[in-house]
Amino acid sequence: MQETLASLEPLDREVLALRHFEQLTNSETARELGLSEAAASNRFVRALKRLKTLLLAVPGLLDQASRTDESREAAS
């Protein structure tokens, strides 16, 4: 996961970190990055798409995620 995030552009990583990990709103993220709210929103959506594309290309990742989900369901 860290390698995949590191392969993103710095601004993409920053917008993902602020929105997802820091849980800032779009307007707070825009202000922090010096972007308009529309630009921050667009950047976030595009960064998520790029991240998804990169993660889907990781061999075995989906198989591993499916096994983890099945293990959680069985434990419930």
List average pLDDT for each run of 10 residues in the chain, which is 76 residues long.
89 95 97 97 96 89 59 56
Q: Which tokens in the block code for residue 41? A: 């929103």
Question: What is the per-residue pLDDT across 14-33, written as a single tens digit (0 to 9) for each?
Answer: 999 999 999 999 999 999 99
Instruction: State the Cα–Cα distance between residues 55 and 38, nearest whole angstrom.
Output: 26
How many Å from the N-terminal Cα to the C-terminal Cα in the chain?
Answer: 27
Instruction: Provide the whole-model pTM.
Output: 0.74
Instruction: State the Cα–Cα distance between residues 25 and 41, nearest whole angstrom.
Output: 10
For the chain, which domains are there? Answer: 2-75 (1.10.10.10)
